[in-house]
Amino acid sequence: MKMASPTKYIFVTGGVTSSLGKGIISASLAKLLQSRGYSVTIQKLDPYINVDPGTLNPYEHGECFVTDDGAETDLDLGHYERFLNVPTSQANNVTTGRIYQYVINKEREGAYLGKTVQVIPHITDEIKRRIQLLGKTGIYEFVITEIGGTVGDIESLPYVEAVRQLKWEMGEDCLVIHLTLIPYLAASGELKTKPTQHSVKMLLEYGVQPDILVCRTEHELSKELKNKIALFCNVSPGAVIESIDASTIYDVPLLMAEEELDKVVLNKLRMPIHTHPDLTHWKEFLYRLKHPKQEVKIGLIGKYVELKDAYKSIAEAFIHAGAHNECEVKIVWIHSEHITSGNVAKKLEGLKGILVAPGFGERGIEGKIQAIKYARENKIPFFGICLGMQCAVIEFARNVLGFENAHSTEMNNKTPYPVIDLMLEQQKITDKGGTMRLGAYPCKIDKNSKVYKAYNREEISERHRHRYEFNNQYLEQFQSKGMIATGINPKGLVEIVEIPEHPWFIGVQFHPEYKSTVANPHPLFVSFIKAAIENKA
Ligand code: GLN
């Protein structure tokens, strides 16, 4: 008899339309399984040809999330980490580009000598291998694999085929959850199941029978409707799960628990249900989130503010830090290109704190610098992340040190004062993909600093994504005028700058937002919000 595999594989596919929230459903199911004591990881398969999203414009793809091991990944990995409080890695995000690159490199090496290299079996085998890599670590009882895109897309076909094969090979150790939409027609006042039926039909054409349907809906699904969907789609009525619109993504695990998604999954995979999900901490967080004692307005200054997904992890870190401080953080999204010396006071009026976002290139830089000058001079709590920190250094150089036209060599390589300069290790690099200083690096914190108070630790590790750095040639001049390097990497790179004279002025070269989770709100965001609450100006 075949032994049950120690790892169970759960696939999440999407139908009818994109943006139904496969990432949140995957993360919520994982949370529920984790809260029952199981070890779970989530993986995202992206059907595009880019090797990773690192070279994609945020307008195309939202934020690029970075893992400890330096993978530039889909933003859904951020949700996985925020929900599970477990770090992801390179293996948690795979793209078609990466699959093909690997197979083509092997072909060049001669690994398939004599054979025609084909989508089936070579590409599908590589997809299957990547899916099982996480399971083979022996760490996880469940691997949840979210398939990007929508069933029926030409690009997703090899992934659906890989799922079909794995289902055939693994039998009951594997199941497929299909997420679809049940649209509501206001004119007739009805919920419609036909798009779901068609979507399941399409999956069946590819040879995949979904085991569970999660139905996104604006209105409750009646028992009759669930039965109808079950009958037409060939699933058990209990496996039709309603996923009603929620006021916050953090409600979804509880909604899925009410619908017993985790129980249905465990039953179908023949796993014991001997524990109750322990969601105490999660519920406490939700309570604080929904019962704030006050609100603060924080300005988020960036050049992609039309697309909130471009700053996903920052927005979520504010939610975690706000709940921690029992305070609702209202983000005021401000386009850096719209800020000038003439309108800055008007634009930033009423804000209790100002965050200048990460970014690349010249566009919007002068507006960011104006905002920082305003925050510095008016003693408004200021938080600069990556490019935001670099802009704070440029602003200080220009307006306090009197370095006229000081700049980063990224924006002006002829500047007389290159206070931010290309890192030495970057100078010979010409390829753009995956070549930045990426992932976790250690940093030592000065005990006599605000960041030390926030972290309450001297040694930290934070994630990076940049090519430029503080130019240490100017360090003494900065420090003598009041901008202090309070966090330094063992190799000497300035990771944190502070102005001790200011109530809260901190710039960090790394991205703290990637490490903020529901269970561990990031200490710098927590401290920044606290300072914003205390800012009575
Ligand atoms: N463009 C800057 C650099 O490469 C900052 C990058 C960022 O904000 N992530 O150093």
CB 5 within 8 A of CB 173: yes
3-state secondary structure 448-471: CCHHHHHHCCCEEEEEEEECEEEC
Indicate which atom in ligand 1 lies nearest the CA of residue 358: 8
Integer Cα distance of 142 and 411 in angstroms: 46
Integer Cα distance of 371 and 380 in angstroms: 10
Catalytic residue among 63, 328, 469, 513: 513
Q: Is residue 233 annotated as a catalytic residue, yes or no?
A: no
Whose CA is closest to atom 3 on ligand 1?
466
CA of 269 to the centre of ligand 1 (A): 45
Cβ burial of 246 (10 Å; 0-12, 13-18, 19+) is middle
Using CB distances shorter than 6 Å, the residues near ligand 1 are 358-360, 386-387, 390, 410, 465-468
* Residue from 207, 227, 205, 202 nearest 215 by CA: 227
Catalytic residue among 174, 327, 386, 391: 386
CA of 468 to the centre of ligand 1 (A): 6
Indicate which atom in ligand 1 lies nearest the CA of residue 511: 9
Q: Is residue 386 annotated as a catalytic residue, yes or no?
A: yes
Integer Cα distance of 394 and 161 in angstroms: 52
CA of 495 to the centre of ligand 1 (A): 13
Indicate which atom in ligand 1 lies nearest the CA of residue 388: 8
- Which amino acid is located at 188 in the chain? S
**Cβ atoms within 10 Å, residue 234:** 13
Indicate which atom in ligand 1 lies nearest the CA of residue 469: 10
Choose which residue among 466, 495, 511, 513 to substitute to test ligand 1 binding: the one with the highest number of ligand atoms within 8 A of its C-beta: 466
Integer Cα distance of 298 and 172 in angstroms: 50
Indicate which atom in ligand 1 lies nearest the CA of residue 468: 10
Q: Is residue 511 annotated as a catalytic residue, yes or no?
A: yes
- pLDDT, one tens digit for every residue, the chain (537 residues): 444 558 999 999 999 888 889 999 999 999 999 999 999 999 999 999 999 999 988 888 899 999 999 999 999 999 999 999 999 999 999 999 999 999 999 999 999 988 999 999 999 999 999 999 999 999 999 999 999 999 999 999 999 999 999 999 999 999 999 999 999 999 999 999 999 999 999 999 999 999 999 999 999 999 999 999 999 999 999 999 999 999 999 999 999 999 999 999 999 999 988 778 899 999 999 999 999 999 999 999 999 988 889 999 999 999 999 999 999 999 999 999 999 999 999 999 999 999 999 999 999 999 999 999 999 999 999 999 999 999 999 999 999 999 999 999 999 999 999 999 999 999 999 989 999 999 999 999 999 999 999 999 999 999 999 999 999 999 999 999 999 999 999 999 999 999 999 999 999 999 999 999 999 999 999 999 999 999 876
Integer Cα distance of 389 and 408 in angstroms: 11
Choose which residue among 57, 63, 313, 410 to substitute to test ligand 1 binding: the one with the highest number of ligand atoms within 8 A of its C-beta: 410
pLDDT tens digit sequence for 201-217: 999 999 999 999 999 99
Whose CA is closest to atom 5 on ligand 1?
387
* Alpha carbon separation from 83 to 28, 33, 249, 317, 432 (Å, rounded): 7, 12, 10, 12, 31
Whose CA is closest to atom 6 on ligand 1?
466
CA of 382 to the centre of ligand 1 (A): 18
CB 408 within 8 A of CB 474: no
Choose which residue among 56, 386, 424 to substitute to test ligand 1 binding: the one with the highest number of ligand atoms within 8 A of its C-beta: 386
Find out whether the peptide bond into 121 is cis, omega within 30 degrees of 0.
yes
Query: Where are any strands of DSSP class E within 127-170?
Result: 142-147
* Alpha carbon separation from 133 to 119, 129, 274, 362, 437 (Å, rounded): 20, 6, 28, 41, 26
Catalytic residue among 61, 79, 407, 511: 511
